[in-house]
Amino acid sequence: MRTYEEKIADIMNLRLIDDVFFEAFAANKKAVREILRVILEDDNLEVLEVVTQGDEHNIYGRSVRLDALCTLGNGTKCNIEVQRSNNDDHARRARYNGSMITINESEPGINFSDITNVLIVYISETDIFKGGKTIYHVVKTLEETGEIFDDGFNEIFVNTAVNDGSKIAALMSCFTKKELNDEQFPETTAEVQRLKTTEGGLSAMCEVMERYMTEARAEGRAEGRTEGESLLSALIQKLIAAHRYDDIAKATSDKAERERLYKEFGL
C-alpha cells in the first residue's frame, strides 16, 4: 500500500497528457471549454456537460474507455481523448470510440437523420501521421466531384510533438508540463494548479488513482487468480513504481495491451 506522501509525489509528476490526470482535470467544464475553443478555433463554443470515465452515468461498459465525453451547445457529442502510446492504430481507435458513442447516444428506432453528431478530438504525444503538423482535420470528400461528404462524424487529431507557432501548439505545450503558469490559458492553468496544490485537488487525484487500482484488482480476480497470485497485480505494482499510470488504465481495460505489458516486464 502506497503512503499518502508517495501518492502526492506521483501526482506532481503527472501532466495533462497523462489520462489519469486528464480525467480529474476534465471534471472542470470551464477548463475543458477553454481547450475546445482553442482547438476548434471557436470563441463562442459552449460545453453543456462533461462525462468522464469515473462518472457513474458513463454506462458504456469496460470495453470502451472515454477520457472526456462532452455535450456541446449545438448537441454534438465530442470525445476528447489523450493518448501517449505510439503502438496503436490511432485512426481505428478513434473510429471505434466514435461508433460506440453514436450507438449509445442515439435512441433505437429513430430516423437516421436524427442520429447524434459525433466529434473526436484526439490528442497524442507523437505526430502520428508524421506530416510535421500540430493539427490534422479529417475531411471526407466525394472523389468524383470533390464535394465534402458530411455524415455527422468528424475527427481532429492534435499532437504535442510539433510546434508550428500557433495558439493550438502553445496549448499543446501545456499538456507536456508538470507545472503550468500560462496567461494565455487561465482556466487550464488554474485547474492544473488546483489539482496539484490544494487539498481538494489532491484528494480528487488520489480518488482517481485509487479507482484505477481497484479496477486492476477486479480484473485480476476476473482472470481466475487470487489477488496475491495475479499477474496483473504484479504488473500494476511495477507500473506504479515506474509512474506509468496511463498504462495501468490500458492494462485494466485492454487485454491485448495487458499481454504486451506482461512481456515487457517479463511476467
Q: What is the pLDDT of residue 60?
A: 54
Q: Mean pLDDT lowest for which of 107-111, 119-123, 175-179?
A: 107-111
pLDDT band at 2 (very low <50, low <70, confident <90, very high): low
Main-chain phi, psi angles of 70, to 5 degrees: -105, 145
Number of H helices, E strands in the chain: 10, 6
pLDDT in tens, 32-63: 999 999 999 999 999 999 998 766 444 455 55
On whether the CB atoms of residues 123 and 158 are closer than 8 A, the answer is: yes
Q: What is the pLDDT of residue 57?
A: 46
Question: Residue ranges of the domains in the chain?
Answer: 4-197, 210-264
Q: Which pTM was predicted? A: 0.82
DSSP state of 43: T
* CA-based nearest residue to 132, from 109, 162, 153, 111: 162
Which grid coordinates are listed for 143?
Answer: 472523389
Q: What is the pLDDT of residue 147?
A: 96
pLDDT in tens, 177-226: 999 999 999 999 999 999 999 999 999 898 888 777 776 666 656 555 55
Q: What is the mean pLDDT of the chain?
A: 85
Helix (H, G, I), strand (E, B) or coil at 87: coil
Q: What is the pLDDT of residue 161?
A: 97
Measured in whole angstroms, how far is the alpha carbon of residue 123 from the centre of its chain?
8
pLDDT in tens, 144-167: 999 999 999 999 999 999 999 999
Q: What is the pLDDT of residue 79?
A: 94
Q: What is the pLDDT of residue 8?
A: 85
Estimate the crossing angle of helix 199-222 against helix 4-12, to 10 degrees.
100
- Rounded average pLDDT over 68-84: 93
Q: Is the pLDDT of residue 118 over 90?
A: yes
Helix (H, G, I), strand (E, B) or coil at 124: strand
Q: What is the pLDDT of residue 232?
A: 76
* Share above pLDDT 70 across residues of the chain, in percent, rounded to a whole number: 86
